Amino acid sequence: MAQEALITDYFYGDESEQFSYFRIPRLLITSPRFKGLSTDAKLLYGMLLDRMSLSAKNGWYDEQSRVYIYYTADEIRSDMGCGNDKALKLLAELDTKKGVGLIERIKQGQGKPTKIYVKRFTTRELPADTTEPSPQYPDTGRGADLDFSDFQTSEKSMSRPRQTRCVDLGKADANYPNRNKPEFSYPDPSIASREAEMERYECRKEVMEQIDYISLQKRYPYDDVDCLLELIVDILCSTAATIRVGGDILPAGAVKERYRQLDMAHIEYVIEGLRQTTTKIRNIRAYLLTTLYNAPLTMGPYYSAAVRHDSG
């Protein structure tokens, strides 16, 4: 079902984390090596990096533990709102054969989609005085020497579940490199993205068990249950130091601890309370986050008051 994007309100606290973002490496903008690359091609590279997180879930690794993705021209055309010729042109800009070498496409034939290897890149800055080319930093005529990793060029299909993690895929440093050092490399954003995605996946599994997700789905509409599940996961996976609850800015640790107390009964309480609410809610996300936070404290008194009222 198509969804309409509505611009509604300001961001509060950690609410900006409800969105996912495409990450475009800074060097694609600043390095002379990529000045000729179109803005759309740079955006597409960020979208290809984002696809890397799916590979960990699907086991898309070749025999050498190198990750690859699937992203067809039809999908690119749909996501970027362009024609087929434009989608193919953008891929060509990035490709090793006709473009800058940021991706390598391996056709599999027999109607199978093309594998895409998304390449990492490093750079070395030249010394300030470049009048005399040094042996360590040869004069390339473009201000930086880019080194692209060597990826598979064979047409042979090598798809199988990953056996071992490549030793090169260490945890990326989120900080920018020290520009006083003559040699540095930018972290691969796909690694951090994949790690965050896997952490969220594990957190979601724990929350589903914590609130008895399957039983709730049998009793309430899917959207109601799934919405609350994702809100709980958002809070537990938040990296913010503080979280806004109602009108208060609270330490993230305290908020997460309260959310870890939520169980099936609390979710039922929140859903039933929302159904009985007749007041117009302007910010439904903020309302639900606050209601979930308060549920462990307010559910008992609420039901006790209801019983006393019914008893007359």
pLDDT digits (tens, 9 = 90+) for 20-74: 678 888 888 888 888 889 999 999 999 998 888 777 677 888 888 888 898 888 8
DSSP-derived secondary structure for 93-152 = HHBTTTSSSSEEEE---TTPPPEEEEPPEEEEBPPS--SS--SSS---SSSB--EEPP--
What CA–CA distance (Å, rounded) separates 118 from 191? 12
Across the chain, what does the average pLDDT equal? 74
Query: Topology of 27-127+142-154 in CATH?
Result: Arc Repressor Mutant, subunit A (1.10.10)
pLDDT at 270: 92
Helix (H) or strand (E) holding 284: helix 284-311
What CA–CA distance (Å, rounded) separates 303 from 260? 21
pLDDT at 159: 40
pLDDT tier at 2, thresholds 50, 70, 90: low
What CA–CA distance (Å, rounded) separates 288 from 230? 11
Tell me which of 311 and 182 has the higher pLDDT. Answer: 311
Cα angle value 224/225/227 (rounded, 5°): 70
Nearest-CA neighbor of 224 among 273, 263, 259, 261? 273
Domain with CATH 1.10.10 in the chain: 27-127+142-154
